[in-house]
Amino acid sequence: MSDKRTITKSKKFFANARKVIPGGVNSPVRAFKAVGGDPIFIDHAAGSKLYDVDGNEYIDYVGSWGPMICGHAHPDVVKAVSDAVAKGSSFGASTEMEVEMADMIVDGFQSIHMVRMVNSGTEATMSALRVARGYSEKVKVIKLDGCYHGHGDSLLVKAGSGVETLGLPDSPGVPAALANLTISIPFNDLSAMESVLEKEGDQVACVIVEPVVGNMGVLAPEPEYLEGLKSLCEQSQTVLIFDEVMTGFRLAYGGAQELYDVRPDMTTLGKIIGGGLPVGAYGGQVELMNQVAPAGPVYQAGTLSGNPLAMAAGIATLKLLKQENVYENLNQTSAKLANGLKEIAWRARVPVVINRVGSMFTVFFTDEERVKNYLDAKTCNTKRFSKFFAGMMERGIYMAPSQFEAGFVSMAHSEEDIDKTLNAAEDVMKTIR
């Protein structure tokens, strides 16, 4: 049975928000357009739980879209931010914490020898593309269908995530001349990549890819796919960029590239390295990073880059992740959830594919046997997903309000949380078959 929940205050706040904020939200997927109904407004969070302005409690599998891997308001992170803000929230000057964070990133990622801090994942990917173009003196970019790399102009082509959620194939405001410099090809298709690089490799500055996709739902790379990308990029002298904004420090301390043992030329990071505060970073080989001003001619700057509050939260988070057995425990908890959901759907005769890599997962409502690329993801029954989402919300389970997003498990999710989630799913699956 579902809980009796009201969202009276959330409805009021949303009505007011629509008068002063486009669509009433500051990021499109928050509007719940893909799942119907009105969004909830959050008052506070702790551990694995969210609490909305009407006092409803939810087990949270969004985790601020990934960064809350230690859970909400972890005492160590709260203390670190509190101590930092007492010294001043921003200086526009260098701090020791920036260097400490850079050292931790370089220590965690074998492919990163130097790193530049920025303020968002979008800023990180935009900057990495600029460095690749400046270094290679080539202009074209290859991305993979359905991969989302932020809302930079060059990358809003078949961009998955919120773009797919809202049914927008691309975005007005992106000049055709710029979009024409971006080539988008299927994920998990090495032959397509080989064909494009053979034809246009002398013009392609870089290939950018989510090594584990999280923005058309979770998609894992096929065996040897990432190794194949690396080899093809080396042959064509093309910079390979892994967008690990979502997967960095999430799938392993060294990200997806540690998990799959493939080293890109450049990496973009975000989310977890800020512990929930706005943050981003891009890094790679010294030869590439020395192109960045003031060391080199490629200009990139940011007034609040390396903000001391974000650095403090990120450092505290990474220290927690270095504790023994963190990733093993996350994997076990996530496996219990995913396997339980799969069994429940099978018993209810609801066709689903559940993809999971580490503590990231997606429940795809599809008749396909596998979901391995953008076209597979597009087969999903979004109406059925919307019913699932609404039913879970009514029972106090908060999942991403889109079929095309990842779910996240945190260190704070308990056995009791997983059991409650599976019990809720058992009820809901019976209603949507």
- Catalytic positions: 148, 243, 271
Q: Output the CA–CA distances (angstroms, integers) from residue 4 to 55, 137, 321, 341, in the order listed.
A: 12, 60, 37, 24
* Closest alpha carbon to 404 in 424, 385, 426: 385
Q: Indicate the residue type of 391.
A: G
What number of CA atoms fall less than 13 Å from residue 251's CA on the CB side? 27
First-to-last alpha carbon distance for the chain, in angstroms, is 17
In angstroms, how far is CA 100 from the centroid of its own chain? 24
Contact in structure between 183 and 205 (CB atoms under 8 Å): no
Closest CA to 244 of 229, 230, 254, 234: 254
Q: How many C-beta atoms surround the C-beta of residue 165 within 10 A?
A: 23
Backbone phi, psi, residue 202, to 5°? -75, -5
81 and 313 Cβ atoms separated by less than 8 Å: yes
